[in-house]
Amino acid sequence: MDVDTHTVAITMGDPAGIGAEIIAKGYPKLLADDRVRPVVIGDAAVLRAAIENCGLAGERRVVAVDSVDEAVTDADAIPVLDLANVDPESLEYGVVREAYGQASLEYVERAIELAREGSIDAITTAPINKQATKRAGSEYAGHTGMLADYTGTESYSMMLIEGDLRVTHVSTHVPLREACDLVTTDSVLETIRVTDDALVELGVDEPTIGVAGLNPHASDGGVLGETEAREIEPAVVAAREEGIDARGPESPDTVYVAAARGAYDCVVSMYHDQGHIPIKMLGFSGGGDGSEGDGDGENGESNTNADATVSGVNVTVGLPILRTSVDHGTAFDIAGEGIASERSLLQAVSVATDMAARRGAR
């Protein structure tokens, strides 16, 4: 029986980071799934340098193409839609440069264009560096806001996946004081809705969603705050009236444990660290630094990518196009050494392929 093939564009990320390395190491493994046709969007010269750094010169080669239609999948040949926007003679790893930020933005922009016109079925992003993209003039805190703006999406969220634990967020890259103010009935309800839709697209039948509180012990009946009763509980009630199996607000210090044990298919988190910490406790369990990794596939400092157990996937839910990402940053501390782990990339492409297959079957 013929298998439907889905084209997943992999953006290379910041040229000074590990994006090209994890692509170089992981590409042949992606082809084990005959449903996926992976095509890289980036700079061919940067990818060739990464192949050298990984000691794979005799096993991999780069094939620069001008269009997705020209890309042919082969275990030893990586097709790259070559934007040729990096000077290979001056390529330097582990540094923040405006030119590198601009290059990484151009990769994502091209991927969005291709997705919107239907030339690709999904996007998987390697990490960018927020400092570099800011120097390049970007107003976005990361991939997520950029993708939402470019697709005209108002209701969206970041979903992180690690094993059986999934989390989404009411807010992400904002200061904590501001994040507290963003916990409103409308914002929580919209996050519950896009979470429910995404879980169905991920193949979860009749999803159950746990909703975390903002305050310790979910305010303990009003003793430790009013946000739960005033904003979060009404959102949960409204969601249930719409037929969504949402429960909460639950105590933030126990709801993630319950979800990891199967009580919930996803936890709606109220802010960035509330959802990221439990995911990274699981995904970065193999040791290493990991303190600077970012679930949006961004940031520039240390990550645990050198350890083979680094894992996790980020999905931007609520978009009209499919996008997944690695769950780590650019790992500037090890970039160019050829030791970065490709595991998160493999998982991210797999999730993108699964979602593309389900969306295509509808």
Q: Are 161 and 317 in contact (CB under 8 A)?
A: no
Return d(Cα 118, Cα 122) in angstroms, integer: 9
Residue 147 within any structural domain of the chain: yes
How, if at all, do strands 157-162 and 313-317 pair?
A: antiparallel
DSSP codes, 289-350:
--TT--TTSB-SS--STTSTT---EEEEET-SS-EEEESS---TTTTTSS----HHHHHHHH
- Report the first-to-last Cα separation within the chain, whole angstroms: 19
Q: Are 16 and 94 in contact (CB under 8 A)?
A: yes
**Domains identified in the chain, total number:** 1
Residue 13 within any structural domain of the chain: yes
Q: Are 65 and 79 in contact (CB under 8 A)?
A: yes
Q: Are 318 and 197 in contact (CB under 8 A)?
A: yes
Phi and psi based region of residue 342 (left: phi greater than 0; alpha: psi -120 to 50; beta: remaining): alpha
The per-residue pLDDT for 179 is 97
Which structure tokens are listed for 287? Answer: 């040791």
**Tens place of pLDDT for every residue, the chain, 362 residues?**
356 899 999 999 999 999 999 999 999 999 999 999 999 999 999 999 999 999 999 899 999 999 999 999 888 899 999 999 999 999 999 999 999 999 999 999 999 999 999 999 999 999 999 999 999 999 987 898 899 999 999 999 999 999 889 999 999 989 999 999 999 999 999 999 999 999 999 999 999 999 999 999 999 999 999 999 999 999 999 999 999 999 999 999 999 999 999 999 999 999 999 999 999 888 765 433 333 344 455 554 344 444 445 678 999 999 999 999 998 999 999 999 999 999 999 999 999 999 999 887 65
Give me the CATH number covering residue 56: 3.40.718.10
Query: 247-275: b or e for each residue (b if 16 or more CB lie within 10 Å)?
Result: bbbbbbeebbeebbeeebbbbbbbbbebb
Residue 316 within any structural domain of the chain: yes
Residue 129 within any structural domain of the chain: yes
Q: Are 292 and 185 in contact (CB under 8 A)?
A: no
Taking CA atoms, 45 is separated from 99, 109, 132, 306, in Å, by 15, 20, 20, 23
Residue 180 within any structural domain of the chain: no
Residue 218 within any structural domain of the chain: no
The per-residue pLDDT for 144 is 87
Return d(Cα 264, Cα 278) in angstroms, integer: 14
Burial of 95 per CB tally in 10 Å (0-12, 13-18, 19+): middle
The per-residue pLDDT for 74 is 86
3-state secondary structure of 81: strand
Domain extent for 36: 6-158+291-361
The per-residue pLDDT for 223 is 95
The per-residue pLDDT for 26 is 96
Return d(Cα 301, Cα 220) in angstroms, integer: 38
Residue 263 within any structural domain of the chain: no
The per-residue pLDDT for 141 is 79
Burial of 102 per CB tally in 10 Å (0-12, 13-18, 19+): middle
The per-residue pLDDT for 142 is 84
User: Rg of the chain over CA atoms, in angstroms?
Assistant: 20
Return d(Cα 24, Cα 22) in angstroms, integer: 5
Any residues with CB less than 8 A from the CB of 138 and at least 6 apart, and which? 101, 105, 146
Residue 167 within any structural domain of the chain: no
